[in-house]
């Protein structure tokens, strides 16, 4: 082969070798451009307390543009780089001020929290014609409680009636769903989370179990350990909202954590704080004889997730309350974080805000120690 032919072939090979990276580069940059073009303009109504901030963070992290509409009173320092519109939502028409929303359009609107039907409906009437997708955060509390006797409750279970005898929150969520359906139609997505925990949460329920575990020693574990608990991470709920927008998922979705039995719940909570405490299972009948019952479901003063043994509910008519199916959301691609990550986020928030500084366990150490001593002395066998 002469030198001229060698150089010609070498040049051709070099040119060919550079074409492949060039084509790959063009393909990759084209894909990025298409991905960027799918970024949505999202309006979040509220967004400054617990679930709202998690939704904003998830949406921004996914590359979407977020506008917040609220009063500007609760945590106005949050999200300094996001657009904020100010106004007032009210069930009283003469007090409501939604004028900041005039003349604007969004790809998706998320209504985070209201349970007053007229308040939820008024925002939907204002915005239904200016968005392609409307999302509403409801709750598993919207279900008729008679459905909670069996595990596996799905989205087609009956809802609460608009009945004054039902708690305002429960009946309000149910009625809000019905009104939004009539206004928004098939562009509506309703999510029904179960008990939500994680970052920014300030409810001292799981905290009771982490603190008992961190103190070490012996503690009461109520019942047999076979009753169930179901907790969903606030970040998981937020990420599903973003997933629903990106995939244009409409309809209704339960968003609940994996169902743990109470033995798993107590053990995994203690493991999250690296505790060596011993939890001793004490039958419900023995606890009842000592005046240590779970919080009643219908107490006007004590939420059912608090009380002496937070999240423990052995009532047969509630056996399915913490075994609700989220298969529809999971089939759509939803993923859930490990429970330990939820606990650690929750404890970080409790610590940073000093929320646990003045916490007092409803089950006093003295009563717990005395009850355990009686049980260990008199238990069968």
Q: Mean pLDDT lowest for which of 56-65, 108-117, 178-187, 356-365? A: 356-365
Report residue 103's pLDDT band, with 50, 70 and 90 as the boundaries.
very high
The count of other CB atoms within 10 Å of the CB of residue 182 is 11
> Is residue 378 scored above 90 in pLDDT?
no
What is the pLDDT at residue 359? 87
* Averaged pLDDT, 54-75: 97
What is the pLDDT at residue 192? 98
Tokens of 283: 């039958």
Over the stretch 125-149, which tens digit does the pLDDT of each residue have? 999 999 999 999 999 999 999 999 9
Report residue 10's pLDDT band, with 50, 70 and 90 as the boundaries.
very low
For residue 202, give the nearest of 170, 234, 228 by alpha carbon: 234
SS3 content of the chain, % helix, strand, coil (to 5): 45, 15, 40
Which letter does DSSP use for residue 312 in this model?
Answer: -
What is the pLDDT at residue 28? 30
What is the pLDDT at residue 380? 84
* Averaged pLDDT, 170-191: 98
What is the pLDDT at residue 299? 78
Q: Model pTM greater than 0.85?
A: yes
More confident residue, 59 or 38: 59
Q: How far apart are the first and last CA of the chain?
A: 97
Over the stretch 341-358, which tens digit does the pLDDT of each residue have? 999 999 999 988 777 778
Give burial (CB, 10 Å; 0-12/13-18/19+) of 2: exposed
State the residue for tokens 């003295």.
366
The answer to whether the beta carbons of residues 112 and 45 sit under 8 Å apart is yes
What is the pLDDT at residue 92? 86
What is the pLDDT at residue 13? 40
Q: What are phi and psi of 70, to 5 degrees?
A: -165, -175
Report residue 113's pLDDT band, with 50, 70 and 90 as the boundaries.
confident
Report residue 11's pLDDT band, with 50, 70 and 90 as the boundaries.
very low
* Averaged pLDDT, 325-337: 98
- Spelled out in words, what is the top-level CATH class assigned to the domain 41-378? alpha beta
Question: What would the 3-class secondary structure string for 318-376 be?
Answer: HCCCCCCCCHHHHHCCCCCCCHHHHHHHHHHHHHHCCCCCCCCCCCCHHHHHHHHHHHH
Mean per-residue pLDDT over the chain, rounded: 90
Over the stretch 229-286, which tens digit does the pLDDT of each residue have? 999 999 999 999 999 999 999 999 999 999 999 999 999 999 999 999 999 999 999 9
More confident residue, 22 or 174: 174
CA atoms within 13 A on the CB side of 358: 2
> At a CB cut-off of 8 Å and minimum separation 6, what does 350 contact?
201, 202, 204, 207, 356
> Is residue 199 scored above 60 in pLDDT?
yes
Report residue 2's pLDDT band, with 50, 70 and 90 as the boundaries.
very low
Residue 100 CA, chain-centre distance (Å), reads: 28
For residue 40, give the nearest of 27, 25, 55 by alpha carbon: 55
Q: State the Cα–Cα distance between residues 287 and 293, nearest whole angstrom.
A: 6
* Averaged pLDDT, 114-132: 96
Q: State the Cα–Cα distance between residues 123 and 183, nearest whole angstrom.
A: 10
> At a CB cut-off of 8 Å and minimum separation 6, what does 362 contact?
208, 306, 307, 308
Report residue 106's pLDDT band, with 50, 70 and 90 as the boundaries.
very high
Report residue 27's pLDDT band, with 50, 70 and 90 as the boundaries.
very low
For residue 79, give the nearest of 107, 44, 104, 106 by alpha carbon: 44
Q: State the Cα–Cα distance between residues 209 and 203, nearest whole angstrom.
A: 12
């Amino acid at each position: 082969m002469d030198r001229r032919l060698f150089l010609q072939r070498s040049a051709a090979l070099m040119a060919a070798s550079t074409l492949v990276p060039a084509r790959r580069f063009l393909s990759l940059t084209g894909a990025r451009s298409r991905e960027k073009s799918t970024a949505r303009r999202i309006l979040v109504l509220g967004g400054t307390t617990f679930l709202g901030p998690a939704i904003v963070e998830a949406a921004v992290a996914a590359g979407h543009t977020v506008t917040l509409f609220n009063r500007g009173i609760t945590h106005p320092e949050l999200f300094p780089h996001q657009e904020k519109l100010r106004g007032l939502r009210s069930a009283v028409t003469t007090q409501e001020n939604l004028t900041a929303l005039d003349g604007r359009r969004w790809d998706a609107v998320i209504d985070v929290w209201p349970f007053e039907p007229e308040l939820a409906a008024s925002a939907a009437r204002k915005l239904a014609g200016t968005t392609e997708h409307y999302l509403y955060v409801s709750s598993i509390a919207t279900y008729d409680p008679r459905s909670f006797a069996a595990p596996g409750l799905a989205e087609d279970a009956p809802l609460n009636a608009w009945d004054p005898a039902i708690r305002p929150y429960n009946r309000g969520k149910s009625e809000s769903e019905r009104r939004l359906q009539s206004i928004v139609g098939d562009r509506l997505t309703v999510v029904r989370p179960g008990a939500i925990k994680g970052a920014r949460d300030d409810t001292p329920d799981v905290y009771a179990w982490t603190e008992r575990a961190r103190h070490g020693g012996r503690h009461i574990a109520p019942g047999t350990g076979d009753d169930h608990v179901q907790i969903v991470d606030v970040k998981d709920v937020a990420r599903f909202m973003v997933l629903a927008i990106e995939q244009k998922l409409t309809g209704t979705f339960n968003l609940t954590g994996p169902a743990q039995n109470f033995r798993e719940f107590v053990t995994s909570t203690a493991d999250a704080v690296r505790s060596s405490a011993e939890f001793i299972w004490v039958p419900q009948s023995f606890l009842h004889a000592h005046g240590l019952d779970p919080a009643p479901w219908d107490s006007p003063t004590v939420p059912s997730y608090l009380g002496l043994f937070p999240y423990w509910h052995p009532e047969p008519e509630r056996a399915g309350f913490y075994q609700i199916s989220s298969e529809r959301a999971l089939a759509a691609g939803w993923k859930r974080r490990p429970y330990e990550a939820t606990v650690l986020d929750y404890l970080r928030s409790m610590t940073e805000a000093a929320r646990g500084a003045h916490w007092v366990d409803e089950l006093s150490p003295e009563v717990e120690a005395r009850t355990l001593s009686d049980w260990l002395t008199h238990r069968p066998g």
